[in-house]
Structure 1
Amino acid sequence: MTMGAAMLWGVAHLAVERRRSGLALMVAYVLMLAGVLTVVTAYSANLLSLAVQPRWLTVLTVALVAIALAWTGVIVWSFVLVRPPRSDRIGRFLTTTLTVALCALILAPTAYATRIAYLSRDVVNTLFPSSADSTPIMAHDPWNGAERVQFLLLGGDSAPGRPGVRTDSMTVASVDTATGATTLFGLPRNLQRVPLPHGPARSRFPFGFTGAGTDTPGLLNEIFQYAEDHPDVVPGVPKGRRGPALLKETIGGILGVPVQYHVLVDMKGFAELVDAMGGVRVTIKDPIVYGRNREGLLPPGTRRLSGEEALWYGRSRTDSDDYVRMGRQKCLLNAVVKQAEPMTVINSFERLATAAKRTISTDLPRDVLPAVVELSQKVKSAKVRSLSFVPPLIDTANPDWGLIRDTVSDSLRDRPSTKTVPTREQPATTPKPDNPINLDAACG
Structure 2
Amino acid sequence: MSLTIGSALLWGVAHIATGRHRTGFLLMTVYLVLVGLIVTMATAFRGQLLSLAVQPAWLAALTVAIATVGVTWSVVILWSFWLVRPKGAGHNLNLAVAGALCMLVIAPSAWAGRVAYLSHDVVTTVFSATSTSPVIARDPWKGATRVNILLVGADAAPNRPGVRTDSMTVASIDTATGATTLFSLPRNLQQVQLPDGPARDRFPYGFTGEPPATPGLLNEVFQYAEDYPEMVPGVKNGHRGPTLLKQTISDILGIPVTYYAMVDMAGFAQIIDAMGGVRITIREPITYGKYNEGLLPAGTRKLSGEEALWFGRSRTYSDDYVRMGRQKCLLNAVAQQADPVTLLNSFENLAAATKRAISTDIPADLLPALVDLGQKVKGTHIKSLQFVPPLINTAYPDWHLIKRKVSEALKDRSGAPRRTVSTPSPSPTPSSSERAISLDEVC
* Same-fold call, TM cutoff 0.5: yes
**Contact 2:388/2:431 (<8 A) preserved:** no
1:274 to partner: Cα distance: 1.6
Q: State the 1:429 CA deviation.
A: 5.4
Matched with 1:183 is 181
Q: How does 1:20-419 map to 2 (within 5 A)?
A: 20-41=22-43, 43-85=45-87, 87-88=88-89, 91-131=90-130, 134-140=131-137, 141-414=139-412
What amino acid sits opposite 1:56 in the alignment? Answer: W
Structure 2, unaligned runs of 5 or more: 415-429
Residues 239-283 of structure 1: CA deviation (Å, up to 9, x unaligned): 111010000000000000000000001001111112222222222
* Residues 327 and 350 of structure 1: CA distance in aligned 2, closer, same or farther (over 3 Å): same
Within 2, Cα distance between the matches of 1:74 and 1:269? Answer: 45
Deviation at 1:311, TM superposition (A): 1.5
Runs of 4 or more above 4 Å deviation: none
Q: Which amino acid in 2 is paired with 1:430?
A: S
| Structure 1 residue 38 displacement after superposition | 4.5
Alpha-carbon contact 1:387-1:436 (below 8 Å) kept: no
Q: Is the 8 A contact 2:343 2:350 kept in 1?
A: yes
For residues 268-309 of structure 1, the C-alpha deviation after alignment (integer angstroms, 9 at most, x for no partner) is 111111222222222222222222222222222333322222
Equivalent residue for 2:423? none
Q: CA deviation at 1:333?
A: 1.7
Q: What is the CA-CA distance between 1:15 and the residue it aligns to? A: 1.1
Q: Cα offset for 1:157?
A: 0.5
Secondary structure at the aligned position of 2:365 is classed as helix
For 2:50 and 2:357, the matched residues in 1 are separated by: 22
Change (3 A) 1:415 1:341: closer
State whether residues 322 and 431 of structure 2, in contact with CA within 8 Å, keep that contact through their aligned partners in structure 1: no
How far the C-alpha of 1:428 sits from its partner, in A, is 12
Q: Structure 1 residue 326: deviation in Å?
A: 0.6
* Aligned-pair Cα RMSD in Å: 1.9
Q: Tell me how far 1:437 sits from its aligned partner.
A: 4.2
After superposition, the Cα gap between the structure-2 partners of 1:156 and 1:381, relative to the gap in structure 1 and judged at 3 Å, is same
The alignment partner of 1:263 has SS state of strand
Instruction: Give % identity.
Output: 61
Q: Distance in 2 between matches of 1:361 and 1:109?
A: 31
Q: Which amino acid aligns with 2:255?
A: V
Letter matched to residue 331 of structure 2: L
SS of corresponding position for 2:161 = strand
Q: Secondary structure at the match of 1:168?
A: strand
Matches of 2:46 and 2:276, distance apart in 1: 29
| Structure 1: 5+ residue stretches without partners | 417-426
Q: Secondary structure at the match of 1:370?
A: helix
Measured against aligned partners, the alpha-carbon deviations of 1:158-188 in whole angstroms (never above 9, x if no partner) come to: 2233111111111101011111111111111
Q: Secondary structure of 2:181's partner?
A: strand
Hey, what's the Cα distance between the residues in 1 that align with 2:22 and 2:278? 58
Structure 1 position 9, deviation (Å): 1.5
Query: Which moves more between the two structures, 64-73 or 345-354?
Result: 64-73
Measure how far apart 1:414 and its partner are.
Answer: 1.9
| Correspondence 1:14 to 2:12 | no
